[in-house]
Chain A
Amino acid sequence: MPAGGYTSKRRVMERYKIIGFISSGTYGRVYKAQGKNGIVGEFAIKKFKPDKEGEPQYTGLSQSAIREMALCTELSHLNVVSTREIILEDKCIFIVFEYAEHDLLQIIHHHTTPQRHCIPAPTIRSILWQLLNGLLYLHRNWVMHRDLKPANIMVTSAGSVKIGDLGLARLFFKPLQSLYMGDKVVVTIWYRAPELLLGSRHYTPAIDMWAVGCIFAELLSLRPIFKGEEAKMDAKKQVPFQRNQMLKIAEVLGVPNVKQWPLLSSMPEYSQLSTLSAGGNSRVHRPIGLENWYNGVLKQNGYPPVEKSPTGEKKAAENPGPEGLDLLKALLTYDPQQRITAEQALQHKYFTTGEKPSMNCFEGITTKYPSRRVSQEDNDIRTGSLPGTKRSGLPDDSLRPTKRLKEG
């Protein structure tokens, strides 16, 4: 290489002032920062840690870091978190993102404390509209997110929804990671599409649409709709059939069958399905059905009944209405080939009936959502890489699964 080795032409500390620490994950840590020396605005800087802590050494960048870097420089859309720059310095990668004050996890949480109060229907509609616009852009560009969940959907203080955490969806298991994650880690599967649970090796954009359905349901009910428990990998590192998660889905939607989903029988874990209803699980035999679930949630969370004006038109958009149910059904369709696409979803009557959805999801509401928590304990971006520290954001966050599935 050029004699003298690699030296960065740009230095993080010369360009940004670190305000504090936001969160950490398997990849590294995220800091809130303010631009300096002519750079204006607030940013979230994601630092990818080198594989080995302690004495940093060049060991080759991880697949996920490469993926995120490559995608972030390439993509640009209003509803996808934008990247200001990428700095390679001191054997670390720093991706500088635009800053977003909120995320959907935090917004949902705000509506459950101190007591449960529903997210206004127009807010949900705007969030979904923007999310689907971002997703359509990704899918048109052949990008599958693969890890959509409330914590990965950012919302700016101006009510703009941004898909975040690109390229991290497929994370390769590295033995070293278990050392970092000293304490027990729960792996989220709540947003995982049925075809993946049944062992499909083929990813299609439809897996993201399933996740959107789960997020839609969660925005309405303020709880994950399919809150299953992860089955751990066995000693041979084989990924087991996620029986409990599949059960949670079947309790609402029923056990999938070949009539609804013709290719079902070719799924690797197909034979497991028949065992779901064994043991006399009556909820699987008599699933509540999405419609009952939906109507129950709307009632329980206090959405006002749909009022019809004398002309038969819906009066106010205070209730997601039958259109919302119809879209939810289309998103949570078992057969990935029949599941609605992002493009079709944007043309769904849930969006086309009534006013055009706002690009500001906070429009017309007075709720003030709390700012993102930023911790001062560790705001030295150069050295801050102590293992095991969790996100400082939410008090109940440790209960929330954050880790992703390893690539099969």
Chain B
Amino acid sequence: MSASYWSSTQRRYWTFTKPELAELRRKLDEQERGLITQYPLPERRLLNIYFNLQIAKIGRRLQSPVVRQQCLATAQVYVRRFYTKVEIRRTNPYLVLATALYLACKVEEQPQHIRHVLGEACHVWPDFNLSDISKIGECEFTLISEMNSQLIIHHPYRSLADLQNSFPLAQDESALAWSVINDSFLTDLPLLHPPHIIAVTAMFLAVVLKPSQSTLQVNAAGVSGALQALSNPQAAATPAASSRMRKFVDWLADSSVDMEAVVDCTQELISLYELWETYNEKVCKEQIARFMKARGLDK
């Protein structure tokens, strides 16, 4: 189920400029100053990594029929949107995650029974001692209401497929681009850029990073040269750039893609990969548990 991105509620109501997003969060923080100082939490993106892993855990277990990546992605965008409007320390994040996935599966036409979702949530999160589906049902109302019933999400996955009609990727590049898109959901990118920009960025990184590399968490230096080429197509003509890279930059120059946005996306992703090194699941888990217990949100 989907409609055109250009007239979508995603574009009209849920795509922000960086200052707009910062202002939204600043306002929310101001209202909740006391809570925030009392219960410190890891950096937002580190929490996102944690949330993503948690959603994926349930997703894997709900495998009949297989919950596709699309549902996980939609659930993550819901979580991201929701927490621009509601302070995380006022919620049971596990309940929000389970509900977001339950709702996303319905919207993506892969409905899962609410009891099934609840059962898997209880299994995956032993601390999640909610035994009643009505909690998820109620949380669903809150989620939908905070999102103004705007539930349809346009993802970069489809853009990636479309763009390959004009710039085909090799199979390994394509797989890499796909996983870069998966990573984009850990950042604010889904709230900042249209899906095709994120898809172009993923293609760019896939071409630059060469699938031969075993890991995506590359050194920033490797990318900086390519970034230069992006912002200055002439630079790509230098012998240092690979011919594949040159082709890609030429193709980009011919398209009317917003280069500045692609550069910005690339930087966001590189910065994510650097930060990822400091990710510590235990810390996330404990700090969340602390405010949940103290505030009685786990009941």
* Residues of A in contact with B (beta carbons under 8 Å apart): 1-3, 5-6, 8-9, 57-61, 63, 66-67, 69-76, 86, 88, 91, 140-143, 172
**Residue B44 CB within 8 A of the other chain:** no
Q: Which residues of chain A have C-beta atoms less than 8 A from B86's C-beta? A: 2
**Are the C-beta atoms of B1 and A2 separated by less than 8 Å?**
no
New contact pairs (19) apart from A58-B136, A61-B144, CB-CB < 8 Å = A1-B95, A1-B138, A5-B138, A6-B145, A8-B145, A58-B138, A59-B137, A63-B111, A66-B151, A67-B1, A70-B1, A71-B1, A71-B3, A73-B150, A73-B152, A74-B9, A76-B7, A88-B145, A142-B1
Within 8 A of A (CB), among B110-136: 111, 114, 133-136
Give the residue name and chain of the A residue nearest to B134 (CB): A58
Measured CB to CB, the closest approach of chain B to A329, in angstroms, equals 31
Sampled A-B contacts (11; CB under 8 Å): A1-B92, A1-B142, A3-B295, A3-B297, A58-B137, A59-B134, A70-B152, A73-B152, A74-B8, A76-B7, A91-B137
Give the residue name and chain of the A residue nearest to B2 (CB): A142
User: B1-20 CB contact bits vs A (8 Å, 1 = yes)?
Assistant: 11110011100000000000
Complex Cα spacing A141 to B8, Å: 10
Secondary structure call for the B interface: helix
**Are the C-beta atoms of A58 and B141 separated by less than 8 Å?**
yes
Q: Which residues of chain B have C-beta atoms less than 8 A from A172's C-beta? A: 111
Complex Cα spacing A91 to B137, Å: 9
Complex Cα spacing A67 to B144, Å: 12
Q: Which bucket holds chain B's interface residue count? A: 35 or more
Q: Which residues of chain A have C-beta atoms less than 8 A from B189's C-beta? A: none
User: Which residue of B92, B133, B148, B297 is within 8 Å of A73 (Cβ)?
Assistant: B148
Q: Which residues of chain A have C-beta atoms less than 8 A from B1's C-beta? A: 67, 70-71, 142-143
**Are the C-beta atoms of B9 and A73 separated by less than 8 Å?**
yes
Complex Cα spacing A108 to B152, Å: 36
**Residue B90 CB within 8 A of the other chain:** yes
Q: Which residues of chain B have C-beta atoms less than 8 A from A59's C-beta? A: 114, 133-134, 137
Stretch at the interface among B50-58, B99-107, B196-204, B211-219: B99-107
Q: Which residues of chain B have C-beta atoms less than 8 A from A91's C-beta? A: 137, 141
Q: Which residues of chain B have C-beta atoms less than 8 A from A6's C-beta? A: 138-139, 141-142, 145
Which 8 residue pairs across A and B have the least CB separation, nearest first? A58-B137, A60-B114, A141-B3, A70-B151, A58-B134, A86-B149, A58-B138, A6-B141
